[in-house]
Amino acid sequence: MKKPITKEKLYWWGHALVHPFDGFYEIRFRDQGSLLLAFLLMIVFGVMRCLSAQYTGFVMNLTNQDELDTLSLFISNISVLLLFSLSNWTVTTLFNGKGKLSDIYIVICYSLTVLILGDALVCFISNFVTTEEVMILQAVQMLCIAWFAFLIVAGLGTIHEYGLGGNLASIVMSVAAAAIILFIGVLLFTMLERMVSFFTSVGQELMRRL
């Protein structure tokens, strides 16, 4: 992550957004990716999600501002990215995927560029449009999501050297694996919380009796 972001790495970042097969091939097999750039994109994505929740125009913003917790929103968005990266690496390792965890992370974070730009554009313009014009911005959002999904499919397929069928299957299994990991994590956290509560209660009861 401490490697500098060179002009060449910036070039292949932009190239991957419009030519994902060539771009991610160079990133994976010719070391043209940057973990530092990927990390920065992840942080910008999380911040942009928080800004969108706060500052998107009222004609499109369904967020309850009174209940908005920007820190929780930021952490949840970042956690989803990290969890999917881990689950995809876990699944593809079992099915002879060629990509490393760092490659998967770079593909996902580079692909976020489309969502970052889309969020920024919609957040700004939504403050100047009428209700009748909202459909245009919604179409922009859908287009960005579709392009993001295409970049993910193309990028993961390239770094793992999968065909379309195997790639889609690995993505579906990665989502399922992420759900399982999340469920186990929540279960363990709940059990730990109850254990702490139990021992705290026991300790308080002992203190009262002594």
pLDDT tens readout for residues 116-128: 999 999 999 988 8
**Residue 67 vs residues 75, 123, 162: alpha-carbon distances, Å:** 16, 19, 43
| pLDDT for 1 | 45
User: Residue 121, class by beta-carbon neighbours within 10 Å (0-12 exposed, 13-18 middle, 19+ buried)?
Assistant: middle
d(CA 152, CA 99): 13
The tens digit of pLDDT for each residue in 1-33 reads 456 788 899 999 999 999 999 999 999 988 888
Q: Model's pTM, two decimal places?
A: 0.86
- Express each pLDDT in 81-136 by its tens digit: 999 999 999 999 988 888 899 999 999 999 999 999 999 999 999 888 888 888 99
Q: Return the pLDDT at 25.
A: 93
Long-range contacts of 69-76 (CB under 8 A, 24+ apart): 73/49, 74/46, 74/47, 74/49, 74/50, 75/46
Question: 16-20, 46-50, 59-63, 95-99 — which is least confidently predicted?
Answer: 59-63
On the question of pLDDT at 142 being above 90, the answer is: yes
Question: Is residue 193 pLDDT above 70, yes or no?
Answer: yes
Return d(Cα 198, Cα 164) in angstroms, integer: 51
CA distances from 24 to 9, 34, 68, 122, 180 (A): 11, 12, 36, 27, 29
Q: Taking a C-beta distance cutoff of 8 angstroms, is the pair 77, 109 a contact?
A: no
Distance CA 148, CA 150 (A): 5
Res 210: pLDDT: 66
- At residue 20, the pLDDT reads 93
